[in-house]
């Protein structure tokens, strides 16, 4: 976090270090014949670094999100160029699909939802965070399913709007609205995660 109370410098350092790791990976795996081997190494060395603690520092501006995503774009281009099973000029989404990967943006969203799920289901021991989560409780029995379980605090600044807890509750409310049969208090971790992914 820098003097402006944002994570821009942190994102810059993550992208720089990940680019170096990706370069090392490309040089070290020149003779590799299997795509899967390179993908596993990328996931272990590079992607893990790009995703570490993303619940805290997740970029909310498109420019920062695209900078983080650019590392995976470069990796999928490298795979396409090296193995020739798809054109390197194909759109990023096609390359991602071809190599059975997920965008980093979607993975960060999954991590956010899983974090809040674990927090409200007492899978994470953090009373201070649980105290700050506002639940919406209706005064009367509603006719329709409740789509906004969590109260998101109002804020006048981008920093407040995109603070981790506000962002998490907003994303969870949107997810519950788009997948109405989800029950975050009853579903197991496995069931909840499959509903996020599909």
Q: Give the residues across from 151 on adjacent strands.
A: 134
- Kindly state the average pLDDT of the residues 172-177: 91
Task: Look at residues 76, 43, 59 and name the one whose alpha carbon lies nearest to residue 7.
Answer: 59
Enumerate the domain spans of the chain. 8-101, 108-197
pLDDT at 150 over 70: yes
pLDDT at 69 over 80: yes
pLDDT at 2 over 70: no
Q: Which tokens is 188 given?
A: 């197991």
- Kindly state the average pLDDT of the residues 177-197: 88
């Amino acid at each position: 976090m820098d003097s402006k109370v944002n994570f821009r410098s942190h994102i810059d350092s993550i992208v720089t270090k990940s680019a170096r790791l990706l370069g090392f990976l490309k040089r070290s795996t020149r003779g590799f014949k299997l795509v899967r081997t390179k993908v596993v190494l990328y996931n272990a060395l590079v992607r893990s670094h790009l995703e570490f603690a993303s619940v805290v520092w997740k970029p909310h501006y498109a420019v920062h999100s695209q900078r983080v995503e650019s590392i995976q774009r470069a990796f999928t281009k490298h795979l396409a160029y090296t193995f020739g099973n798809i054109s390197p000029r194909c759109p990023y989404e096609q390359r991602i699909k071809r190599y059975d990967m997920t965008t980093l943006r979607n993975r960060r969203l999954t991590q956010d939802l899983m974090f809040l799920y674990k927090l409200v289901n007492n899978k994470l021991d953090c009373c201070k965070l649980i105290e700050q989560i506002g639940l919406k409780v209706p005064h009367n029995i509603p006719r329709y399913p409740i789509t906004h379980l969590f109260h998101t605090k109002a804020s006048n600044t981008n920093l407040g709007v995109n603070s981790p807890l506000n962002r998490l509750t907003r994303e969870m409310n949107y997810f519950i609205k788009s997948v109405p049969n989800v029950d975050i208090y009853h579903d197991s971790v496995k069931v909840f995660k499959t509903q996020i992914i599909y």
